[in-house]
Amino acid sequence: MILESIQPWADYELIDSGACEKLERFGKYVLIRPEPQALWPKQLTEKEWSSRAHARFVRDNNKKSHRDSNNENGGWQFFKTVPASWEIQYAPLNLKLKLSCTSFGHLGVFVEQVTNWHFFDEQVRRIGNTPKVLNLFAYTGAASIVAAQAGAEVTHLDAVRNVVTWANENKQLSKAPEIRWLVEDALKFVKRQAKKGNLYQGIILDPPAYGRGPDGEKWVLEDQIDELMFYSAQITDPNAHFALLNLYSMGLSGSIGVNLFKAHFKTQAQWGECLVPSTAGLDLPLCTWVRSVK
């Protein structure tokens, strides 16, 4: 297992975490959100948390991760003025991203993915010759933009139309090359691509634990990840490729992803965790990734 920590980032700071919450700064705004993996006590006092925070998101079911679904009940409590949207920048990869306090607790970026963004940038440049990259469950497009800026021909797919629109706004902010946008169910798409014999040199798989397709298709990671990996392997160029699978379900070992790559891609894979260091001193693990390179 490999541990990767995100590097200091001017527009982002994890100030503290604990008691199933995290205190983060995005640009000028400090927010409190649920974090079920923060099972330790807070390092700062409740007074310090509340005095710094502009807003707090409270869920009816506080045990679920904010990556789990778009159907959880909860809401924001605002203590100071927060605009409807604002922008942050990740200068090392020329990314500009729009953020917003959505009704599900999402903001529009998952900061732990920084190490994966750099992986995509390196792999697209390694393969060269305008590799085709497919980004599934692609959310607001940071990974798609990084791959496109590195020289890839990118297909960006997500089941939620307004999220794809948001990704296009981020593309415009970042002044990235053209990207193919699709609103579709990921499993249906890869099946169809396999039937057509289309191949990609890059596959990015960032599935939530639970979700819905555009026509109400039900997604449960543990039930469908094997089938998704089977068809993804069929559309991956056997001669040169990179592939990444993120696992956000608590309790799923990265070794599961390694076995899925061995079984379907017939390749060796590495797995690790993305850690977000905090100013208060405790690292927060926020993602298990599995990567294959050929």
Does 69 have pLDDT greater than 50? no
Cβ burial of 219 (10 Å; 0-12, 13-18, 19+) is buried
Does 171 have pLDDT greater than 60? yes
Q: Is it true that domain 9-91 has CATH number 2.60.40.1180?
A: yes
Q: In terms of pLDDT, which residue wins out, 213 or 132?
A: 132
CA-to-CA separations, 221 to 69, 72, 112, 210, in angstroms, rounded: 11, 17, 20, 6
> Identity (one letter) of the amino acid at 7?
Q
Tell me the DSSP string of 220-252.
EHHHHHHHHHHHHHHTB-SSS-EEEEEE-STT-
> Per-residue confidence at 219, pLDDT binned at 50, 70, 90?
confident
Over the chain, what is the mean pLDDT? 93
pTM for the model stands at 0.93
Region 202-227: what's the mean pLDDT?
89
Does 114 have pLDDT greater than 90? yes
CATH 3.40.50.150 occupies which residues in the chain? 110-293
- CATH classification of 110-293, choosing from 1.10.238.10, 3.40.228.10, 3.80.10.10, 3.40.50.150? 3.40.50.150
Q: How far is CA 176 from the centre of its chain?
A: 19
Query: What local confidence, expressed as pLDDT, does residue 218 receive?
Result: 85
